[in-house]
Amino acid sequence: MEMECPYAVEMLGITKRFPGIVANDNITLQLKKGEIHALLGENGAGKSTLMSVLFGLYQAEEGTIKKDGKEVQINDPNDANALGIGMVHQHFKLVQCFTVLDNIILGVEETKHGMLKKDDARKKVLALSEKYGLKVDPDALIQDITVGMQQRTEILKMLYRDNDILIFDEPTAVLTPQEIEELMQIMKNLAKEGKSILFISHKLNEIMEVADRVTVLRRGKCIGTVNVCDTNENELSRMMVGRDVKLVADKTPAQPKDVVLDVENLTVASKNHNNNAVKHVSFNVRQGEIVCIAGIDGNGQTELVYGITGLEPAKEGKITICGKDVTNASIRERSAEMSHIPEDRHKHGLILEYPLDYNMVLQRYWQPEFTTKGGFLKKDAIRKYSDELIEKFDVRSSQGSDTMTRSMSGGNQQKAIVARELSKEHKLLVAVQPTRGLDVGAIEFIHRQIIDSRDAGDAVLLVSLELEEVMNLSDRILVMYEGEIVGELDPKKITTEELGLYMAGAKRDTQKGAE
């Protein structure tokens, strides 16, 4: 018996084809016991496909999978679970109206005479949560807890099933900086306790911080596996993208001109609680500048954007765009001057059941260019416009304009939205987390587009949870805390630490905190 196989899991020579593309081309990935192994690659490089093969969602056409040195067959997720392989998906698989505990035991509940026996389960969950520092409230409903706690619930789900190979599919995409910090610590603890971790990511700094080794994929091919201690971010990004990438966007100093967006004393009600989510906020954004709203998730940024874009009514205050009072204007009226890259691409940004070309004209379909006077769609024009945007913004998909949007990778869905919003006529761009879940190549591209849009004379309001993005792009930073703007900062003069203090509410400018 070869008990001492150093690898927990080996995927050897995996090839997986889809019509038109080879998603995985002879990829080998070996996960050592107790290591954190990062899987790095651009959107559509084949990371998710490879993990789906490991998790039993797809069958590879070629190649073998070995667990502890023994060849295994994984036909569905149940097989994977039986082998101790667990996965935290990018989009959580939790029952919203169940408690944390119920979600953890879901599917492996213990019963006595047909009745649930939760006491033992509760003890085990609390013990696990103690051991790995996974703070959760077992009795809270999923819909009431933060995204970070939902993720910890997912991790506990894997641990509760005694999984020892843990796959994290872009776990930090949805987290705040603080939560990311915590997650990194949790992952290190897990590895220390002997769990083997596969960490799918395209965030280089996180990989550098937490991983032991990293395997890089590019366009379905394995570029190589390197030790993290022997490499650096620049080398990794070159391996991933295939060329040098500027990690910091070049930009000239802003030259602000006329005020485009003027927000006065804006108050927006909250959907979650009786308090107002946005409280008496005033600021403006000028032509040719990027103003960034920084803050920890849930401090009213979402509602502020809803108020400005018209998705939610303003309770008080006044919004002016290009000198026109739009406080009570419809979304369509506002969209004449405003482009909006929404926070949630699946909820607002796209109609996933529509083909890509229909989504490309979602904010323009009514215009004479795409609709005849009689109300008929000009499908040829729509197709042509969509093809142009796909080309210009390098949106990758299996069938171009015909692709069902649902089947595209998250990064390319986001690129499609960015393409649509930047290509439509606008004077104000409201971009909420425009690079969420994107790889460095795409981030570089989108940052470039936003800066170009500024230089072309647009006013840009950027909402971001990523400190790096805030520091990188903005000409002015407004920090939001508990629904108020607590500071206006100059990114050139402030450090990340100081910004963090404002975001956490530990510091505030007195003159800015209206009331």
Partner 1 sequence: MKNKKSFMENPAVQGILSALICIVIGVLIGYIVLLVINPAEAGTGIMAIMKNFFNYPIGKIGMKYFGSTLVKTAPLIMCALSICFCYKVGLFNIGAAGQYVVGAGVSLYTALAWGLPWYLCIILAGLGGALSGLLIGVLKAFLNVNEVISGIMLNWISLYCVNMLLTGVKEPSSPYTLPLTGHGNAGLIPSLGLSTLFNNDKVTIAIPLSILFAILVWVILDKTKFGYELKATGYNKNAAKYAGMKEKKNIIIALAIGGALAAIGASFLYLSGIENWEVGRSSVPGMGFNGIAATFLGALNPIGSIFSSFFIQHITDGAVFLDKTAFPSQIPDLITAIIIYLCGFMGFIKMLLAGKKKNKAAPSAETKQEGGKQ
Q: Residue numbers of the site for partner 1 (CB under 8 A)?
A: 18-21, 23, 44, 48-49, 51-52, 57-59, 77, 89-91, 93, 169, 309, 311, 330-332, 335, 340, 342, 346-354, 358, 362-363, 365-366, 371, 375-377, 379, 397-399, 403, 406-410
* Buried b / exposed e along 347-360 (16+ C-beta atoms within 10 A): eebbeeeebbbbbb
Q: Which is nearer to partner 1, 205 or 367 (CB)?
A: 367
Residue with tokens 């995204």: 147
Q: Which is nearer to partner 1, 348 or 476 (CB)?
A: 348
The encoded tokens of residue 67 equal 């667990």
Distance CA 291, CA 321 (A): 15
Q: Least distance (Å) from partner 1 to the CB of residue 501?
A: 34
| Cβ atoms 487, 502 nearer than 8 A | yes
Q: Which is nearer to partner 1, 70 or 332 (CB)?
A: 332
Q: Least distance (Å) from partner 1 to the CB of residue 241?
A: 19
Q: Least distance (Å) from partner 1 to the CB of residue 280?
A: 26
Distance CA 386, CA 226 (A): 39
Q: Which is nearer to partner 1, 64 or 372 (CB)?
A: 372
Q: Least distance (Å) from partner 1 to the CB of residue 370?
A: 8
Q: Report the DSSP pairing between strands 259-269 and 316-321.
A: antiparallel
Q: Which is nearer to partner 1, 178 or 270 (CB)?
A: 270
Q: Which is nearer to partner 1, 103 or 472 (CB)?
A: 103
Distance CA 424, CA 153 (A): 41
Q: Least distance (Å) from partner 1 to the CB of residue 172?
A: 17
Q: Which is nearer to partner 1, 350 or 485 (CB)?
A: 350
Start-to-end CA span in the chain (Å)? 73
- The CA-atom distances, in angstroms, between 166 and each of 53, 103, 133 are 14, 18, 16
Angle of helix 440-455 relative to helix 233-241, nearest 10 degrees, comes to 90
Q: Least distance (Å) from partner 1 to the CB of residue 491?
A: 30
Q: Least distance (Å) from partner 1 to the CB of residue 379?
A: 8
| Cβ atoms 435, 292 nearer than 8 A | no
Beta-carbon contacts of 397 under 8 Å, excluding residues fewer than 6 positions away, are 356, 390, 403, 407, 408, 412
Q: Which is nearer to partner 1, 77 or 513 (CB)?
A: 77
Q: Which is nearer to partner 1, 20 or 114 (CB)?
A: 20
Q: Which is nearer to partner 1, 360 or 473 (CB)?
A: 360
Residue 380 forms beta bridges with which residues? Answer: none
Q: Least distance (Å) from partner 1 to the CB of residue 350?
A: 6
Q: Least distance (Å) from partner 1 to the CB of residue 28?
A: 19
Q: Least distance (Å) from partner 1 to the CB of residue 125?
A: 20
Q: Least distance (Å) from partner 1 to the CB of residue 351?
A: 5
Give which of 422, 412, 425, 423 is closest to 345, Cα–Cα: 412
DSSP string, 4-18: T-SEEEEEEEEEEEE
Distance CA 150, CA 128 (A): 16
Q: Which is nearer to partner 1, 340 or 447 (CB)?
A: 340
Beta-carbon contacts of 210 under 8 Å, excluding residues fewer than 6 positions away, are 36, 38, 184, 187, 188, 199
Whole-angstrom Cα Rg for the chain: 24
Distance CA 503, CA 497 (A): 10
